[in-house]
C-alpha cells in the first residue's frame, strides 16, 4: 500500500493561514493525493485532491511538489470550525484491483482563538 507521513498534531491561531504537510515518497505515477478531515463525532469530509498540479477550491488549496513526493494542504484563514483531524491519503489500487482510500493516523489540528 502507498503510505503517507504526517505530523501527529499542529496548532494554529484563528484567522491565520495553516500549512499542513504530508510526505509520500513512495507515490506512484497514477496515485491521486486526497485530503479529508474528520470533525469530532462525524464521518470524514472531503477537502481536496489532485494529481500533479496545484489545486484550489472553496475550502483549501493543495500544493504538490514537483517530484510529487510531498504535498501541503493550505487553509487560508483558520477558523474554530477547522479544528479536526486532517488525513492525507493516496488513492491507490487494492489487491483486488479497485481503487480505495487507505487512511493513516492524520494530523490533529487545534485552532486557538
Binding residues among 18-37 for another protein as defined by CB under 8 A: 32, 34, 36
Q: Which of 30, 99, 110, 112 binds another protein (CB under 8 A)?
A: 99
User: For residue 13, what are the contacts with CB-CB under 8 A and spacing of at least 6?
Assistant: 78, 111, 112
For another protein, the closer of residues 43 and 113 by Cβ is 43
The CA distance from 109 to 27, in Å, is 24
Site size with another protein, rule: CB under 8 A: 22
Q: Do the strands 107-112 and 9-13 form a parallel or antiparallel pair, or are they unpaired? A: parallel
We find the least distance from the C-beta atom of residue 48 to another protein, in angstroms, to be: 8
80 φ, ψ (degrees, to nearest 5)? -60, -30
Sketch the per residue contact string, 50 through 89, with another protein: x for CB under 8 A, - otherwise.
-------------------------------------x--
74 contacts 54 by C-beta, under 8 angstroms: no
For the record, the C-alpha cell of 77 comes out as: 484563514
What is the contact surface with another protein in residues (CB under 8 A)? 32, 34, 36, 42-46, 49, 87, 91, 94, 96, 98-106
Amino acid at each position: 500500500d502507498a503510505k503517507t507521513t504526517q505530523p501527529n498534531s499542529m496548532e494554529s491561531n484563528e484567522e491565520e493561514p495553516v500549512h499542513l504537510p504530508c510526505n509520500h515518497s513512495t507515490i506512484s505515477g497514477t496515485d491521486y493525493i486526497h485530503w479529508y478531515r474528520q470533525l469530532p463525532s462525524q464521518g470524514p469530509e472531503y477537502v481536496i485532491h489532485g494529481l500533479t498540479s496545484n489545486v484550489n477550491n472553496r475550502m483549501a488549496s493543495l500544493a504538490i511538489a514537483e517530484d510529487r513526493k510531498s504535498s501541503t494542504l493550505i487553509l487560508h484563514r483558520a477558523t474554530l470550525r477547522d479544528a479536526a483531524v486532517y488525513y492525507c491519503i493516496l488513492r491507490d489500487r487494492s489487491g483486488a484491483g479497485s481503487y480505495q482510500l487507505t487512511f493513516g493516523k492524520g494530523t490533529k489540528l487545534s485552532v486557538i482563538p
